[in-house]
Amino acid sequence: MLNIYMSMVASCPMDLYEKLNAQGDKVRALKAAKAEKADIDVAVQLLLKLKVDYKQMTGQDYKAGCPPSENSVPPDNGPAVDGADDEDTVDPWNVSTTSAKGVDYDKLIVRFGSSKIDKELVDRIEKVSGQKPHRFLRRGIFFSHRDMHQVLDAYEKQKSFYLYTGRGPSSEAMHVGHLIPFIFTKWLQDVFDIPLVIQMTDDEKYLWKDLTLEECHRFAVENAKDIIACGFDINKTFIFSDLDYMGASPEFYRNVVKIQKHVTFNQVKGIFGFTDSDCIGKISFPAIQAAPSFSNSFPQIFGGRKDTQCLIPCAIDQDPYFRMTRDVAPRIGYPKPALLHSTFFPALQGAQTKMSASDANSSIFLTDTPKQIKNKINKHAFSGGKDTVEEHRKYGGNPDVDVSFMYLTFFLEDDEQLEKIRQDYTSGALLTGELKKILIETLQPMIAQHQERRKQVTDEIVKQFMTPRPLNFNI
């Protein structure tokens, strides 16, 4: 694909515009001819890459039928700074960008080689599930996928699938950003009526953090209470701690060993950036996160079946684990897992980084009181508003960089209300303080309700969720 792309690099905006038109025609022709999915994906990735380059060259989004003007020039962002044009940093441990709007997800799709969740796929999920798409799908919060069409093809032929997601328990308290994959996974479980496995990677946190094994295991149990409080069906959900389950399940460990045999040290160094000074536990860990992607890792649920498709909803920073998994799967006789990727939940201070459980002021925690929520948002939430009321009324605010508005896109259910807030803030009719007030009034009851549900989750209920057992489903 790189060679194809290099031959298409354009020297001027009009040249690039014409290449975009031609590539768009090619994508449409491939789809109309029902070409191989792999060929279509390559063509789409190239189209996305050209669109990114067009915006960089002209400062405008590409629109078919709207050629660039002769005086089209890229935006002047001042003198270049060393490293300023570097790619966003996105890996399982670090996420950062220089843009106040956050990570450039179109570029990330090209870089990772995944596929964009477009309107066609959202409409198809609605048709197959018979339910209105979740707001995370409607608003592009889950924005990228691998093989979701294949999952839906099988589901339409009465061949079901199962869900797998996880949590790395690094502290006792979770923050609202940690809920995003679980909120969406619960919706998927409900609308498709399918089983779910949730991996608590307490072993990972022991290897990476300055924590004892006992602390990591305790955090796993405490985090499980918050996950259960999201409303998962106990008859269709198995939550497991790696420290407990891997020693109790020969089938799981056998899959770990199969994966380990098919990935070299050079490969994991290339994928994850490990160095010679990293402990060998880190180097072998990716195989443990990969193993739940295969149904026979859970014989109590699937028996000996190894052909049940797995769908993994997760943040895009976890994708390197599953690119490795998808590469190994056919070599050990298993189906490749499919993925749905979410964007990152921004820190209160701005979208340049994701939130940190170790910085109390970077996020709203699930243990925060209504007063703490109010104070954190008022004091720390990055604003897209102007410096004075007069300026704001005249020029309006920028919702694309305003953290309070970003948070509302995650948690406010009403699309029309959200759009009105966007328009009012952009026009200056809505002030930053008023926008923050809307967010406070959205989050306070949501978190209070979560805390009430969590209080009902006893140690006995956690034990039931974490006990290996058959689940109730038709697959």
Instruction: State the DSSP string of 247-290.
Output: HH-HHHHHHHHHHHHTS-HHHHHHHH---TTS-HHHHHHHHHHH
State the pLDDT at residue 356: 61
CA angle 468, 473, 475 (to 5 degrees): 105
Closest CA to 334 of 295, 366, 368: 295
pTM for this predicted structure = 0.80
What ranges in 396-431 are assigned the alpha helix state H? Answer: 403-411, 415-427
Mean pLDDT (the chain) is 89
> DSSP class of residue 370?
H
pLDDT score of 90 more than 90? no
> Is the pLDDT reported for residue 432 higher than 90?
yes
User: 338-342 and 142-146: which strand pairing?
Assistant: antiparallel
Partnered with residue 175 across adjacent β-strands are 365
Higher pLDDT, residue 90 or 367: 367
User: What pLDDT was estimated at residue 25?
Assistant: 84
Determine contact, residues 348/126, Cβ cutoff 8 Å: no
Structure letter (DSSP) for residue 400: T
Element (H, E) at 16: helix 13-32
Helix, coil or strand: residue 354: strand
Closest CA relative to residue 188, chosen from 304, 44, 338, 325:
338
Residue-by-residue DSSP string for 333-389: T-PPPEEEEE-PPEETTEEEEE--TT-GGGS-BTT--HHHHHHHHHHHS---S-SSH
C-alpha span between 226 and 214 (Å, rounded): 19
Residue 84 has pLDDT above 70, yes or no: no
The pLDDT of residue 150: 96
Give the orientation angle of helix 265-272 with respect to helix 319-328, to 10 degrees.
150
Whether 183 shows a pLDDT value over 80: the answer reads yes
Cβ neighbours for 78, distance < 8 A, ≥ 6 positions apart: none
114, pLDDT greater than 60: yes
Name the more confident of 251 and 50: 251
100: which DSSP letter?
Answer: T
pLDDT of residue 348: 92
pLDDT at 279: 96
420-449: average pLDDT: 97
Residues 6+ away with beta carbon under 8 Å from 276: none
Instruction: State how far the Cα of 246 lies from the Cα of 242, in Å rounded to an integer.
Output: 6
pLDDT given for residue 73 in this prediction: 47
Query: Angle at which helices 176-192 and 213-228 pack, to 10 degrees?
Result: 50
Does residue 1 have a pLDDT over 50? no
Confidence label for 24 from pLDDT (cuts 50, 70 and 90): confident
Task: Name which of 456, 407, 402, 458 is nearest 432 in CA terms.
Answer: 402
Which of the four pLDDT bands, split at 50, 70 and 90, describes residue 45? Answer: confident
Distance CA 309, CA 369 (A): 41
Name the CATH topology of 93-348.
Answer: Rossmann fold (3.40.50)
CA 32/CA 20 separation, integer angstroms: 18
Q: Residue 354 has what pLDDT?
A: 59
As a whole number of angstroms, the distance between CA 198 and CA 450 comes to 19
- Give, for 205, the enclosing helix (H) or strand (E): helix 202-208
Give the contacts of 261 (CB within 8 A, at least 6 positions apart): none
CATH number of 14-58: 1.10.287.10
Alpha carbons 176 and 447: distance in angstroms, whole number: 8
- Which two structure tokens, joined as six digits, stand for 126? 């609605």
Helix (H) / strand (E) containing 454: helix 432-455
Query: Locate tokens 């009321």: which residue?
Result: 389
- pLDDT at position 86 is 54
Q: What is the pLDDT of residue 32?
A: 84
Q: For the ranges 1-10, 305-314, 328-337, which has the lowest average pLDDT?
A: 1-10
Instruction: State the greatest distance between any 2 C-alpha atoms of the chain, in Å, as a whole number.
Output: 70
- Residues 6 or more apart in contact with residue 254 via CB below 8 angstroms: none
Domains of the chain by residue range: 14-58, 93-348
| Better pLDDT: 311 or 352 | 311
pLDDT cut 90: percent of the chain above it: 69
Classify residue 188 as exposed, middle or buried by CB count within 10 Å of its CB (0-12, 13-18, 19+).
buried
The residue behind tokens 């704001």 is 392
pLDDT digits 0-9 by tens, 285-314? 999 999 999 999 999 999 989 999 999 999
Most confident of 10-24, 74-88, 254-268: 254-268
| pLDDT at residue 74 in the model | 46
Q: pLDDT tens digits, residue range 242-292?
A: 999 999 999 999 999 999 999 999 999 989 989 999 999 999 999 999 999
Whether the per-residue pLDDT at 9 is higher than 60: the answer is no
> For residue 327, what is the DSSP state?
H
Residue type present at position 241? S
